[in-house]
Amino acid sequence: MTHKPLTTLTEEETMFRDAVRSFARSEIADRVMAMDEKQKLDSDLIEQCFQMGLMGIEVPEQYGGAGSSFTTAILAIEELAAVDPSVSVFVDVQNTLVNNAIIRWASDAQKEKYLPRMCSEWVGAYALSEPGSGSDAFALSTKAVDDGDHWTLNGTKLWITNGGEADFFILFATVDPEAGYRGITAFIIEKEFEGFSVGKKEDKLGIRASSTTELILENCKVPKDNVLGEVGKGYKVAIETLNEGRIGIGAQMIGLARGAFDAAMAYMNDREQFGRPISQFQGMQFQYAQLATELEAARLLVYNAARLKDAGKPFLKEAAMAKLYSSQIAEKVASKCVEFHGGVGFTKEFPAEKFYRDAKIGSIYEGTSNMQLQTIAKLLAK
């Protein structure tokens, strides 16, 4: 497979992107502030995401998905984030983490059982982090014990995106704490499994409509058939899936930055001072021209990583760079756009303050900026 030019979209990709953009503007935009205040996604909107085919973009058609590319999923995530990053990350986790892991690692029987549901009704979540393991992702304390005809899991997971809406969880536990990362195993957990419950929902600075919860496992019984991949190979599932997930976060960040930038430009073109729109003052022009240039550079990094992934080429360094830089630019753009609005930018009357709050998470989740720098440095030093 060839590596397509970065800015060239196929006709199919363009049509899909435009459809998602239209959906976001017509169905999501008017609900953004209410969902942010309620800290909850609109249930009707979740259903619409399934109806639009946004919850199974890469899933093969035989399982009810769109059978499309990773790049197509990235385009959808970007368009949603330009209107509401909370909805964007909801769709992002489903596609780049959960569905991707099932497609790559699940048995045929697991795919037959779960993928049709993931495309039509079930929301997924990805449960790796714990109170004592963040950047040190494999310092897990959640333990899985082989009890003959089933596994018994005990422990607590933290910072789980989609935890409040999810029916399906890819959850990591260790079968042998002394084996380190070689004891890590991935399990498929259904919400109704005995001994499993969703705990506290976090009260967050940004992406407030996106649920972030803890998960509690108290003698949770998991069927033997629900191991994802091989016992003791969960670290491989986690690493490879998160590498792809970072590109998804990159797409979320460039979409967020674009949404903030477009809102600010509209305001500056409309707002007059000293007899002309403030966008015409050179002091403003130089600032937004710089931001637009940096945003385009971040977009190219994200698209490049996605194209490499689709082409089956190495993309680890490029994914880390895309995630690092896009999160930096999103925070910079969102901050400047608050300033461009002047006093009203500091109020909830305009979207600038929400984009600013939402931007901060980009440098933290799915690998902090320091972890991305460490990854990039290691690969450059080889």
Catalytic residues: 366
Q: Which residue do the tokens 């590596």 mark? A: 3
Distances in whole angstroms, Cα of residue 378 to Cα of each of 312, 348, 374, 381, 382: 21, 43, 6, 5, 7
Beta-bridge partner residues of 187: 171, 227
- Pair 96, 73: CB distance under 8 Å: yes
CA 158 – CA 98 distance, rounded (Å): 17
CA 76 – CA 226 distance, rounded (Å): 30
Q: Which residue do the tokens 């830089």 mark? A: 325
Cβ partners under 8 Å of residue 378, min gap 6 = none
CA 115 – CA 102 distance, rounded (Å): 8
- Which helix (H) or strand (E) segment holds residue 325: the answer is helix 316-340
Angle between helices 234-270 and 85-92 (to 10 degrees): 160
Q: Which residue do the tokens 């994802």 mark? A: 228
CA 256 – CA 359 distance, rounded (Å): 7
E strands, the chain, in order: 124-127, 143-146, 150-161, 168-174, 184-190, 196-201, 212-223, 227-228, 272-273, 276-277
